[in-house]
């Protein structure tokens, strides 16, 4: 199926590795012009080369205002407005509620929330003007089914679903869709960092295995496609059946 993404201009945040990288790879494979970002300059530039992305930009999304500047730079480097924006960043610190300091909440809010909000705010007006746009927020199954010990993630990501639901109807008539992707346990560096053996995780997943990043990439490419123009305001899990709730 031709997803109609040839020459569409896309920016994928947090994309030198893991899920963001897989999303960028899927968009590149469909012929989109893709900009990616991450903190480590050498790694993001190498990733852009390896993926065939247009540009890799070194940006730390935990710095206030960085996401706004990033969108402006990506627009310039891609040669025009953005058609597709995929928000993503590193996972917030682990810990149960008593372990989380006010500083950690602020840090998590900046990284997980404000970086997405700022990027969307910068990208949306152009999409609405051109009457075509796709906004995708990479969150987590934790947004619907809290994961023990990931208090910051559980608390903040659920709110992002509310944001998706409030933005989507406001921009639907302009041809812009807004959706959240909820990855379940997927084999990336982040999962390795959590230090939980793969077999232990697999016991809790109906599919009995971790997801592959490209499985999320494929869903993201579909949601960014021409064909997905009537899908908006949704939270779509790619989780091997992990979320049991209706
Ligand atoms: N993998 C899973 O099973 C899973 C499941 C649910 C949700 N998630 C969530 O999905 C997101 C991505 O996870 P992942 O597994 O793909 O992680 P990953 O493999 O660690 O990749 C994270 C990417 O984001 C970049 N990044 C991290 N912090 C950044 C920052 N402050 N500014 C800009 N770029 C930043 C990293 O590059 P640099 O380090 O160079 O910045 C890297 O490219 C995380 O929020 C994670 O919690 C993951």
For residue 138, is pLDDT > 90? yes
Classify domain 9-238 at the CATH class level.
alpha beta
Average pLDDT over residues 141-148: 95
pLDDT at 176 over 80: yes
Residue 196 has a pLDDT of 80
Q: What is the pLDDT of residues 109-134, one digit of tens each?
A: 999 999 999 999 999 999 999 999 99
Residue 198 is predicted with a pLDDT of 86
**Is 183's C-beta closer than 6 angstroms to any atom of ligand 1?**
yes
pLDDT tens-digit profile of 37-83? 999 999 999 999 999 999 999 999 999 999 999 999 999 999 989 99
Q: Is 89 in the pocket of ligand 1 (CB under 6 A)?
A: yes
The verdict on pTM exceeding 0.85 is: yes
- pLDDT (tens digit, 9 = 90+) per residue, 2-45? 999 999 999 999 999 999 999 999 999 999 999 999 999 999 99
pLDDT of residue 35: 98
Cβ(108) – ligand 1 distance below 6 Å? no
The CB of 47 under 6 Å from ligand 1? The reply is no
pLDDT of residue 108: 96
Q: Ligand 1 centre and the CA of 188: distance in Å?
A: 9
Q: How far is the CA of 41 from the centre of ligand 1 (A)?
A: 15
pLDDT tens digit sequence for 102-111: 999 999 999 9
115 in ligand 1 pocket by Cβ < 6 Å? no
Most ligand 1 atoms within 8 A of CB, residue of 190, 196, 238, 240 to mutate: 190
Least confident of 10-19, 133-142, 193-202, 234-243: 193-202
Residue-by-residue DSSP string for the chain: ---S-TT-EEEESS-SSHHHHHHHHHHHHTT-EEEEEES-HHHHHHHHHHHT-SEEEE--TTSTTHHHHHHHHHHHHHTS--SEEEE--PPPPPB-GGG--HHHHHHHIIIIIIHHHHHHHHHHHHHHHHT-EEEEEE--GGGTSPPTTBHHHHHHHHHHHHHHHHHHHHHGGGTEEEEEEEE-SBSSHHHHHHT--HHHHHHTSTTSSPBPHHHHHHHHHHHHSSTTTT--S-EEEESTT-----
Q: Which of 19, 35, 48, 201 to mutate to test the pocket of ligand 1 (most atoms within 8 A of CB)?
A: 19
């Amino acid at each position: 199926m031709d997803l109609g993404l040839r020459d569409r201009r896309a920016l994928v945040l947090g994309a030198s590795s893991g899920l963001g990288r897989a999303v960028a790879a899927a968009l590149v494979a469909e012929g989109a012009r893709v900009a990616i970002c991450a903190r480590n300059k050498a790694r993001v530039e190498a990733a852009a080369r390896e993926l065939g992305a247009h540009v890799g930009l070194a940006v730390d999304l935990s710095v206030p205002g960085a996401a706004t500047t990033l969108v402006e730079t990506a627009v310039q480097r891609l040669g025009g407005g953005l058609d597709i924006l995929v928000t993503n960043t590193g996972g917030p610190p682990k810990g149960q509620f008593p372990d989380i300091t006010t500083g950690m909440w602020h840090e998590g809010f900046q990284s997980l929330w404000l970086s997405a909000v700022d990027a969307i705010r910068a990208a949306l007006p152009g999409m609405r003007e051109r009457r075509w746009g796709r906004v995708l927020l990479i969150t987590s199954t934790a947004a619907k089914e809290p994961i023990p010990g990931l208090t910051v993630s559980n608390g903040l990501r659920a709110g992002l679903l509310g944001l998706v639901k409030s933005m989507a109807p406001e921009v639907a008539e302009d041809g812009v869709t807004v959706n959240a992707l909820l990855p379940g346990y997927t084999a990336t560096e982040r999962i390795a960092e959590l230090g939980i053996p793969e077999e232990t995780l697999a016991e809790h997943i109906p599919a009995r295995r971790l997801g592959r990043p490209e499985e999320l990439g494929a869903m993201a490419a579909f949601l960014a496609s021409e064909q997905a123009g009537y899908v908006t305001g949704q939270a779509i899990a790619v989780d091997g059946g992990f979320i049991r709730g209706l």
